[in-house]
A = this chain, B = another copy of it.
């Protein structure tokens, strides 16, 4: 595939500087780009690579345009423009519609004519698969699951019964959506299962990463609104609600019945405890535990940074003495104040 720089400028809405007829044949990083590639500068960290790139053109913001030795596309959001160019150069390979004969489809399931069901799948009773949906190899859709049009289950995805996916969803291998949540009642020490009779409901344009779990609701549903993006190895527990366009990075977890607002970001390894509420535009740092509701937008952090082991050993034993330390500081302050007031008359 080959596109002119001009056509890429139209595609991205960016301002072109340089020869509009330059032929672009691929996208690469500043360091790896070769002639014929377009590259991008979206992270200040890589700014110094600009001078030496072998790319034919670069996508960048106005502030770097002056320093740019080659043709460029100037835009407020170079990373977004790069995503659009990359998408143009890497169209999803078309998949033939129809059901692979190795798959088992229950008679009451409905598979749209334009949809594709790959090899080794199971499509349960009353499942509904919309137009242009691609169900990759090895997927299991239990009874009553619904997959909205243009969605794609890459491979090895499992949808629990009655799970609902909106349109243009993208679900990666190993993800399990709509499995039972962890509901247990205690009967004199032993646990009795609380049937999980709610569903997992995903809006449009939701992406779920590999090996992630989105559990079904207990009573009532687990809901991921439009545009929610979830990385690999994430756990969304029962009855969680996640607002639109919130992104959750790898290994994060949202415990049961919590509500995360819209336009939030939850960084990798972070955890939100159960039964709390995060308002819109809350950003949680990596490996941070949110233990109570957050009502103000902003960035919240509780990460404990690694240190040399000896430094840790010496200091972290003090964590259980913090209160004592604080009380002793208070006592010292008081004693010192007393001492000073004792002195005053003696002067």
Interface, chain A (partner B; CB < 8 A): 27-29, 32, 45, 77, 79-80, 82-84, 86-87, 90, 93, 100, 102, 104, 118-122, 124, 136-138, 140, 142-143, 154-156, 158, 160, 170, 172-176, 179-180, 182-187, 189-195, 197, 205, 207, 209-213, 215, 219-220, 227, 229, 231-233, 235, 237, 245, 247, 249-251, 253, 255, 263, 268-269, 271, 273-275, 284-292, 294, 298-309, 311-323, 325-326, 328-329, 332-333, 335-336, 339-340, 342-343
Contacts and interface: CB of A to CB of B under 8 A. Distances in A.
Nearest to A269: B271
A179 B209 contact: yes
Nearest to A231: B182
Identify the interface centre among A294, A306, A332: most chain B CB within 10 Å of its CB: A306
Contact of A333 (B207, B268, B306, B328): B328
B215 A210 contact: yes
Contact of A250 (B80, B235, B290, B309): B235
Contacts of A329: 325, 328-329, 332
**Could you say how many copies of this chain the assembly holds?**
3
Contact of A249 (B182, B247, B301, B318): B182
Given A285-B309, A289-B286, A304 B316 contact: yes
A315 B322 contact: yes
A150 to B, nearest CB: 13
A90 B161 CA distance: 13
A269 B284 contact: no
A287 B271 contact: yes
Given A219-B27, A289-B269, A137 B137 contact: no
A321 B325 CA distance: 11
A155 B220 CA distance: 23
A321 B326 CA distance: 9
A138 to B, nearest CB: 4
Nearest to A93: B143
A346 to B, nearest CB: 9
Contact of A339 (B298, B317, B323, B339): B339
